[in-house]
Amino acid sequence: MPRAVVTGAGRGLGAAIARRLAADGFDVVRLDRTPGAAGDDVTACDVSDRSQVDAVASRVGEIDLLVNNAGIWRFAALEDVEPTDFAEVLAVNLGGTFHCTQAFGRGMLDAGRGCIVNVVSIAAAAANPSVGAYGASKAGVLALTRQTALEWGPRGVRANAVGPGLVPTPGTAQVYDDPRVRTVRAGAVPMRRLGTDDDVAGVVSFLASPDAAYVNGQVLYVDGGLSQALMTLLPRPADVPGPHEP
Ligand SMILES: NC(=O)c1ccc[n+]([C@@H]2O[C@H](COP(=O)([O-])OP(=O)(O)OC[C@H]3O[C@@H](n4cnc5c(N)ncnc54)[C@H](O)[C@@H]3O)[C@@H](O)[C@H]2O)c1
């Protein structure tokens, strides 16, 4: 049975990804910083702490698939971002991905096969107001994904990224608990709905599958087309007040 590790699997997208991979036939090891709420089958591991990651990796042993999903964000205007918050977001999102990639990737390199899927965000490519280090951290993970693909592809290890758009989860509840916010935000998405955790889990499943055997170093945005909606911001000439005729 193939084995997978999913980080941040205690709730939200990570929990859905772990469920989907288990349904796909993986033996899934679920890691989370705060395993208590999610039950006994979650192993405590703070991915920003290298010693914890190394200890868990040596206990878990060889795996076929690593999903770097654990992630955090802190809201503040750029001028108000606390340096400690900036550092923590980078330490978890980028540092955690690096630690797990190295710690679990060594076994993949020894085996000459393996697959890594990193969970980024549309914020990796588009600035998002008031999320401080988040976009920088996810852009960093995207760069690390390409780096991994380049260096480890020749040794049988693929690395790709999934970029969710707007998905209600426990972590985004403070935004999406308000039905008015859900409606307005869904209206901005070309598919006119928010994403679900299963939308994201399905794409992780695809990237981990033999169907994606020749996909390496890519990012697949799972956002209903939101990242392609830039031109909808432009008013059409007819919507601009005043004369338009030359
Ligand atoms: N929900 C969205 O709209 C959305 C959009 C784009 C990207 N993402 C990304 O998807 C991932 C999951 O987000 P979510 O919405 O499910 O969040 P969430 O807060 O609901 O769940 C995140 C999980 O990660 C765990 N975690 C946090 N820091 C950790 C650490 N240092 N070590 C181990 N586990 C840790 C948390 O305990 C939690 O269980 C994140 O990387 C996030 O940036 C989410």
The H helix count followed by the E strand count for the chain is 8, 7
Q: Identify the residues whose C-beta falls under 6 Å from ligand 1.
A: 7-8, 10-14, 32-34, 45-48, 69-72, 92, 96, 119, 121, 164, 166-167, 169-172
Q: Looking at the whole model, is its pTM more than 0.85?
A: yes
Determine the 3-state secondary structure of 1 from DSSP. Answer: coil
**pLDDT at 36 > cutoff 90:** no
Distance 112 CA to ligand 1 centre (A): 30
**pLDDT at 174 > cutoff 80:** yes
Distance 153 CA to ligand 1 centre (A): 27
For ligand 1, atom 7, the nearest C-alpha belongs to 121
Task: Fill in the DSSP letter of residue 226.
Answer: G
Gyration radius from the chain CA atoms: 19
Q: How far apart are CA 73 and CA 198, in angstroms?
A: 21
Q: 34 near 8, Cβ under 8 Å?
A: no
To test the pocket of ligand 1, the residue of 5, 6, 33 to mutate (highest count of ligand atoms within 8 Å of its CB) is 33
Distance 71 CA to ligand 1 centre (A): 4
Determine how many CB atoms are found less than 10 A away from the CB of residue 227. 16
Domains of the chain: 3-167+196-224 (3.40.50.720)
For ligand 1, atom 2, the nearest C-alpha belongs to 167
**pLDDT at 67 > cutoff 90:** yes
In this prediction, residues 13-40 reach a mean pLDDT of 90
Strands 157-164 and 114-119: parallel
Backbone angles phi, psi at 160, to 5 degrees: -140, 170
What's the pLDDT band for 246 if we cut at 50, 70, 90?
low
Q: Is 134 a catalytic residue?
A: yes
Distance 242 CA to ligand 1 centre (A): 47
pLDDT in tens, 192-223: 999 999 999 999 999 999 999 999 999 999 99
Q: Give the residue ranges of DSSP H helices in 24-176.
A: 50-60, 83-89, 96-111, 134-152, 173-176
Q: How far apart are CA 175 and CA 187, in angstroms?
A: 15
What lies within 8 Å, CB to CB, of 118 at 6+ separation is 67, 68, 97, 141, 142, 144, 145, 159, 160, 161, 162
For ligand 1, atom 43, the nearest C-alpha belongs to 71
